[in-house]
Structure 1
């Protein structure tokens, strides 16, 4: 089982970030954190790295439900979405919460993870479909 969903798109990096933000928003997610790994790695250890941004996506209603089921699930929140430069375009990848929740033996939580996974897949699919429409 893979631990993420992904697609590759053509476009400007910042535009792709805007597009995935909007796609996530339509699925009920907000971005509660953003990490520019290129800048962080340059600042902290002095290395050059490709453009790589981690967006911490949270669907508040589903996060609340998950926390009601399992109070330590917060160690696995928010759902991370990565936007990174690749040689053949921009890749957008999101964690598969079903895969990550396998570490917790709670069937009710696994069912909620599947709902979140479907919403993340739909957001990623929006970008893939838009990329195909351009081709």
Structure 2
């Protein structure tokens, strides 16, 4: 892409006065960098992605509220994690993490395990235990 063709469309970054760095070819045919305020197709994809993420978070919150799953699922979604990533952070088998997603199992977790989840999610243990989806 030529330096003059680097997109300067409206973006979700505009309101934060942030620019993205792109590599482009200058007039001499050499690679250089150019700042971009945004690119419409990328902005559309990002907005749709955030809509899906927010829907998943809301669904997890509702499921915690209904007693279908434990707060582990909600905070996993808030932190944009999946079972494998959470399993790696917790240094536990994935099947154990999935068991902890069950409210009955979650209530029986040790304080040490609750604290490890809280540290992983960047919250306090009391916030994790007290979360009821409300």
Q: TM-score range by the shorter chain?
A: under 0.3
Looking at both structures, which has the greater relative contact order when contacts are Cα pairs under 8 Å and sequence separation is at least 6?
A: 1
Structure ranking higher in strand proportion: 1
Specify the structure having the higher radius of gyration (Cα).
Answer: 2
TM-score, normalisation: structure 1: 0.27
TM-score, normalisation: structure 2: 0.27
